[in-house]
A = this chain, B = another copy of it.
Amino acid sequence: MKTPSSLEDLIAALRCLPGVGPKSAQRMAYHLLQRDRTGAMHLAHALGHAVESVKHCSKCNNFSEQDICSMCSSAQREGDLLCVVEMPADLLMMEQAQCYRGMYFVLMGRLSPLDGVGARELPLERLVKRAQELECEVILATNFTVEGEATAHYLATLLSAQGIKVSRIARGLPVGGELEHVDSGTLAQAVFERREIAV
C-alpha cells in the first residue's frame, strides 16, 4: 500500500517541529486531514505570514514586526538597567513579575556546545554594543541550568572586560518555599549565599 505523496510530504514537514518524531507527525497529519482541515489551512497561512513579517528588534533582539520593537521605543522604560534573558518567554515572565522597568536583551538561545551553539552563534557583539550605548548595569537573568550558568559566566567575563557593571539574579528558596520540600542543591546554595540581616 502506498501512502499518498502529499500526505507523506506533510508527515515529513511536521518533523521540523521540536519534539515531534515520526509517530507524532503521523498522528498530527491524520488528525488535521480527518478532523481539522480549516485549522490546517489557518496554520499554513499563519506560518507563511509569521515567517514573512517577524524579524528581530535591532536593539533588544526580541521578535518584532518593526525594526525597533514597541518596548525599546517606549518612553515608559528606564534606560539605567539592561536585563539579559535567554528567550522571549523569559522576558514575558519578567514582565509578569512586575519587578522591572528597565531594558532587555534577548539572546535567543544559550551557550550549548552539544547543540552546536557556541559564542559565535549568539549576538554577543550586539549585546556589548547595546550595553555600552546605554552605559548601564547589566543584569544576567539566564536560567540556573548548567547551560544558563555557563552563559552567565561567559557574559560576565566578556562585559566586565569592557568595564561594564554586571550582576546576576539571586538564587535561593522560592517565595513560599518550605525547606522540607526543596531540593538539596537549592538549599545548599541558599545557605552558601545567605545574606546578613542588619537590625
Contact residues of A with B, CB < 8 Å?
Answer: 1-7, 9-10, 12-14, 16-19, 24, 26-34, 36-37, 39-54, 62-65, 69-71, 87-89, 91-92, 95, 108-109
Contact = CB atoms under 8 A, between A and B. Distances in A.
A33 B2 contact: no
B40 A51 contact: yes
Contacts of A65: 4-6
Contact of A17 (B18, B32, B64): B32
B51 A31 contact: no
Given A43-B47, A46-B9, A89-B30, A54 B17 contact: no
A3 B40 contact: no
Nearest to A43: B13
Given A4-B64, A10-B47, 9 more contacts: A1-B92, A2-B70, A3-B63, A3-B92, A6-B50, A9-B50, A16-B43, A30-B88, A33-B51
As for how many copies of this chain the complex holds, the number is 2
Contacts of A27: 18-19, 89
A32 B32 CA distance: 19
A31 B89 CA distance: 12
Given A9-B50, A47-B10, A50-B9, A42 B63 contact: no
A63 B12 CA distance: 16
A53 B6 contact: yes
Contacts of A26: 89
A16 B89 CA distance: 21
Contacts of A54: 4, 6-7, 33
A48 B41 CA distance: 6
Nearest to A66: B4
